[in-house]
Copies of this chain bind each other. A is one copy, B any other.
Amino acid sequence: MDAQEAKDKFIQNWGALGTVWGINRTMAQIHALLMISPKSLSADEIMEALQISRGNANINIRSLIDWGLVYKELKPGDRKEYFISEKDMWVVVRQIIVHRKKRELDPMLRVLDEITNSKVPEDSEEAIALNKTIRDIKLFSSKADSILEVLVKSDSNWFVGTFLKMIK
């Protein structure tokens, strides 16, 4: 396998993985491309490498910046913007967790609270089961939330080290 082939394979697969992680294919591919690029790339270079349109490139680069996975780099004396990716896997995963927690877990918890606070009368077996399910999810989520908080705030080495010690 030559270098180009290996690169393509990596980008393709990272893209496929992204789709099942709530990250669209192009966004994940741009991220893959930047992760394996030793230097920052311009929008045009990204469009060229992945054969995508300007609009598509623009939107997905912005999303990546939004997620904290890609940074802008301005070169003095050049009007173009260049992009460089976060390369520390720990930080990458952390950013994804933070972002998705905010986008998905939090709204769900809001809905559950809304239902809880509206005091659905427990006048049927069904209503009781609903309330119990909601209580369970909230309890579980608050635990998951604490764990994710720690995970997000801690340093990779500390976390993995302590964790692996704990299970011995």
Proximity string of chain A (15-39) to chain B, C-beta cutoff 8 Å, 1 when within and 0 when not: 0010011100000000000011111
Task: Indicate if the CB atoms of B100 and A20 lie closer than 8 Å.
Answer: yes
- Please indicate the chain B residues that have their CB under 8 angstroms from the CB of A112 in the complex: 10
Classify chain A's interface size: 35 or more
The reply to whether the CB of A123 lies closer than 8 angstroms to some CB of chain B is yes
Proximity string of chain A (43-59) to chain B, C-beta cutoff 8 Å, 1 when within and 0 when not: 00000000000000000
Closest B-chain residue to A108, C-beta based? B17
Chain A interface, DSSP helix/strand/loop, else mixed: helix
A144-B156 Cα distance, complex, nearest whole Å = 11
Closest Cβ of chain B to A109, distance in Å, is 10
Identify the A interface with B (CB < 8 A): 1-3, 6-7, 9-10, 13-14, 17, 20-22, 35-39, 87-90, 93, 100, 103-104, 107-108, 111-112, 114-115, 118, 120-121, 123-130, 133-134, 136-137, 139-140, 143-144, 146-147, 150, 160, 162-164, 166-167
A–B complex contacts, Cβ < 8 Å, 15 sampled = A3-B130, A6-B127, A6-B130, A10-B115, A13-B108, A20-B22, A20-B100, A35-B133, A38-B129, A39-B125, A87-B133, A89-B137, A89-B139, A93-B140, A150-B167
